[in-house]
Amino acid sequence: MKKGFKIAAISLNIALFVMVVAVFIYRINLPAAEVQPFNSVGFAVLKFFTTESNLLLGITCGIYAVFGLIAFIKKEEIPYWVGIIKTVSTASTTLTALIVLIFLEPQWISYGGNFFDLYTKANFFFHFIVPVLGIFGYIFLESEDVPKLRATLFSMIPPGIYGIGYLLNVIINGPGENHENDFYGFASWGIPIGLLLYLAVIAVTYCIGLGLWFARKAIHLQLYAEKHQQSADVEYVNYREPDKKVIVSEEIIDDVALRKVDDDEEFKSDTSSEVVEEGGNEEVELVTKSYKTETGTIHSVKKKVTRKVVEEDTSKQLHISQHLLGWQLKQDGEEKPIKLFRSQKEAVEYAKKIVKQHGGIIFVHTTDIKKK
């Protein structure tokens, strides 16, 4: 299955690269009469984040296809940094799709336009097809390896740089008579609001990056980590003798009333015992004891007392495996983790403390993916 996923991932990235290049060439060669909403003529289309984010994804898809093919032939791993730039570019095109749907569509409709105007011809690809396919490939087909969570911070770089340039252009040159500088309308309510919108976009982009990362990690655990739980490395062993515990049980054999005594008569209890069976980890003793009841009657009771020595194994069989939030420590047979950890190293150190105290063994479950 992994081989099929790798081939599918490489194929999709090649397709996306070709698609982006073809659509970009188509867009820059459109005559002015056929230019679509939120678009421009020739290379002026590069001023739109839609174009830049899709080109970024197309370039990173091309890079992924090249290094993915090399890694597939050599049976190696794709370089770690490739996963980072795919995280960044996928977050950017996802942001594009969301801005079109949530921000630009209402504007366009308020101008009297049709909802589907922003999803025709080239816009259909850059506003919908490329972002959706990019998300699908990133989460499902490329999930064999997952970048570190902090890689999502880089998702803020493209919209951050673009936003600075956009706002500086509006501040220096003004929005323009026909909003040719403030073509997205972010500064329509003034520069302060535009700055707030800019910061909001940065925050949303980071949240998009986090969402993509967690989705990819969840698929990774399902397709890879969960399938390799039978294969584990023994990390640490501490065998110790089981604790010994004596379990005592009593059984009354006979209880006979002997006589009645006066209240002022002194009574002293008599006790006698005899071991009747002994061997292995068990001892049986017959105990005869006299006692006085509240009504003044003296009884003789015979008990069978069994003492059994049992071994109590306190050793722990602990399993460390990947979790959506990092690494988890579980006890054998338990579904709920004992604790979650940011790194495998922290989980191992914590598990060792338990095993050193109680004895036991630690298993570390990993996939055949490079440990992160």
In tens, the pLDDT along 245-296 reads 788 888 888 888 888 877 777 778 888 888 888 777 788 888 898 888 878 8
If asked whether residues 287 and 356 sit together in one domain, one would say: no
CB of 38 within 8 A of CB of 183? yes
The CA-atom distances, in angstroms, between 245 and each of 250, 286, 308, 360 are: 17, 21, 8, 19
Alpha carbon distance 196, 184 (integer Å): 15
Residue 322 falls inside a structural domain: yes
> How many structural domains is the chain composed of?
3
138 in a domain, yes or no? yes
Q: Does the residue 371 lie in any domain? A: no
Query: Which is more confident, 324 or 368?
Result: 324
Q: Do 103 and 152 belong to one domain?
A: yes
Q: Note whether 140 and 151 are same-domain residues.
A: yes
* CB-based contacts of 331, cutoff 8 Å, min separation 6: 316, 317, 318, 319, 338
Q: What is the pLDDT of residue 104?
A: 84
Partners of 256 in beta bridges: 300
Q: Please tell me whether residues 166 and 183 are part of one structural domain.
A: yes
Q: Does 370 reside within a domain?
A: no
- Same domain, residue pair 123 and 59: yes
Q: Is the pTM of this model over 0.85?
A: no
Asked if residue 272 and residue 357 are part of one domain, the reply reads no
User: Quick one: 41 and 163 in the same domain?
Assistant: yes
CA–CA dist 372, 321 (Å, integer): 12
Please compute the mean of the pLDDT values over residues 317-340 and round it to a whole number.
Answer: 85
In three-state secondary structure terms, 299 is: strand
Rounded to whole angstroms, the Cα distance separating 2 from 6 reads 6
Residue 199 in any domain: the answer is yes
Indicate the range of 97-106, 141-150, 219-228 predicted with least confidence: 219-228
The answer, yes or no, to whether residue 230 has pLDDT greater than 50, is no
Residue 1: its pLDDT value, please?
44
Q: What pLDDT, on a 0 to 100 scale, did the predictor assign at position 368?
A: 47
Q: What is the pLDDT of residue 145?
A: 78
Within 13 A of 283's CA, how many CA atoms are on the CB side? 10
Could you say which of 312, 328, 350 is where a domain stops? 312
Q: Which amino acid is at 41?
A: V
CA distance 163 to 39: 18
72 plus 21 within the same structural domain: yes
- pLDDT for 74 beyond 70: yes
Indicate whether 117 and 59 sit together in one domain.
Answer: yes
Q: How confident is the model at residue 71 (pLDDT cuts 50, 70, 90)?
A: very high
- The pLDDT tens digits of the residues spanning 112-145 come to 888 888 898 889 999 999 999 999 999 999 977 7
pLDDT tens digits along 75-121: 888 999 999 999 999 999 999 999 999 988 888 888 888 888 889 88
Containing structural domain, residue 288 = 243-312
Q: Do 201 and 319 belong together in one domain?
A: no
DSSP assignment string, 220-274: HHHHTGGGGTT-EEEEEEE--PPEEEEEEEEEEEEEEEEEE--TTS-----EEEE
Higher pLDDT, 303 or 359: 303
253: its two tokens: 């054999």
